[in-house]
Amino acid sequence: METMRWEGREFLILDQTGLPGRAEYIRCRDYPEVAEAIRRLSVRGAPAIGAAAAFGLVLGAMNLKVDDPLEFLARVEEIADRLSTTRPTAVNLNWALERMLARLRSSMPGKPGELVAAMAGEAEKIYREDLEGNRKMGRFGQELIPAGARILTHCNAGALATAGYGTALGVIRAAHEAGKKVCVYAGETRPLLQGARLTAWEMVRDGIPVTLITDGMAGYLMAKGMVDLVVVGADRIASNGDVANKIGTYGLAVLAREHGLPFYVAAPFSTVDMSLESGAGIPIEERNAEEVTHLAGVRVAPEGVGVWNPAFDVTPARLVSAIITDRGVVRPPYEKTLRELGIGE
Ligand code: MRU
């Protein structure tokens, strides 16, 4: 099932908030609809957010009634600013928008129709490259996975979070396709249950054995010797290898270290932010209280309770055994090994 589809004048987004029960597409005709879909997590996952924002920018440009190329550029830059504020943590969002603006600037001056066509071409390229990158990441990453491995993952870093195939789930898929007979433990991922709703759904559809656990069960699972390794995705990786990913990831990394298990992160180079020295500089999104006080719209906590709801956490590089990218696998010291892959150039 496609996460998103570009139809020339309209952009379709699979509404992931309805999954696994309801698989419906949102038809976007202008950029505010795309911005809202990103904000409400209809489309989510770092690479998918980047690609969706790129197409959102094309819709915004398409709807401009401006002939002057310089004014056109200024208006598109404003739209990019608006799209970039939808979610702060995943760096792929800004990466994709910057790439779109660079393409537009390099096509200047031109007629609006030509400029929009150049932008649409670039958005399609971002989408295609993400898909190809995930397949490469899968090939590199599956070499780290032993036959019969029992793999714990968190949140959803699958086809739904990308243009297709997935990052962490791409590695698992590639190991499965290589006949390694792996099985997966999916952490449910409170508060929005991306693990229970999305990862479990993807794995079941692919016929990869999957067992759902609640987030609090991971430590006991490891203590019982029921898992061999952890692989997760990332929303932003600093140049020293610190990793921002879905809230709960840090806890899993600490547990993996305590139990002597490898902790792998799979992410494309567009997720690496070489401008940041460490994870301390990564902006962490805080979302609204209802996500925690309510489950599927039903209040489960008393009125008046205080809530803290950071959507992501930062795992220090020292807990990350290796980072699997679309350019190869790197190990510490990440400042050096990420640069050696040409990331950040
Ligand atoms: O809030 P979400 O669902 O967008 O968070 C997604 C994650 O944390 C993923 O692990 C990450 O974006 C990697 S997706 C390939």
Non-local CB neighbours of 45 within 8 Å, separated by 6+ positions = 90, 156, 157, 158, 160, 161, 162, 233
Pairing verdict, β 243-246 and 294-295: unpaired
pLDDT at res. 37? 98
pLDDT at 343: 79
Amino acid identity, residue 273?
A: D
Helices (H), 224-340: 249-258, 290-293, 334-340
Domain ranges of the chain: 4-134, 141-341
Q: How far is the CA of 58 from the centre of ligand 1 (A)?
A: 24
Domain 141-341 is of which CATH architecture?
A: 3-Layer(aba) Sandwich (3.40)
Q: Examine domains 4-134 and 141-341 and report if their fold is the same.
A: no
What is the 233 CA–ligand 1 centroid distance (Å)?
A: 7
Does 167 sit in the ligand 1 pocket, CB within 6 Å?
yes
pLDDT in tens, the chain (345 residues): 899 999 999 999 999 999 999 999 999 999 999 999 999 999 999 999 999 999 999 999 999 999 999 999 999 999 999 999 999 999 999 999 999 999 999 999 999 999 999 999 999 999 999 999 999 999 999 999 999 999 999 999 999 999 999 999 999 999 999 999 999 999 999 999 999 999 999 999 999 999 999 999 999 999 999 999 999 999 999 999 999 999 999 999 999 999 999 999 999 999 999 999 999 999 999 999 999 999 989 999 999 999 999 999 999 999 999 999 999 999 999 999 999 998 766
Q: Which residues contact 24 (CB under 8 A, 6 or more apart)?
A: 14, 15, 18
CB neighbours of 268 closer than 8 A, spacing ≥ 6? 47, 92, 130, 133, 134, 137, 167, 325, 326
> Which atom number of ligand 1 is nearest to the Cα of residue 49?
4
Closest ligand 1 atom number to CA of residue 162:
15
Sorted by sequence, the CB contacts under 8 Å of residue 66 that are 6+ apart come out as 72, 75, 112
Residues forming beta bridges with residue 324, ordered by sequence position = 266, 329
Protein residue closest via CA to atom 6 of ligand 1:
45
Say if ligand 1 is within 6 A of residue 137 CB: no
Which position among 15, 206, 235, 273 bears the catalytic label?
235
- What pLDDT is recorded for position 244? 98
> What is the DSSP pairing of strand 183-187 with strand 150-153?
parallel
pLDDT at position 99:
98
pLDDT value of residue 1: 85
Q: What is the edge-to-edge ordering of all strands in the sheet holding 272-273?
A: 272-273, 236-238, 243-246, 312-315
Active site residue 235: yes
Q: How far is the CA of 74 from the centre of ligand 1 (A)?
A: 31
Q: Looking at domain 4-134, which of 1.20.120.420, 1.20.140.90, 3.40.50.720, 2.30.30.30 is its CATH number?
A: 1.20.120.420
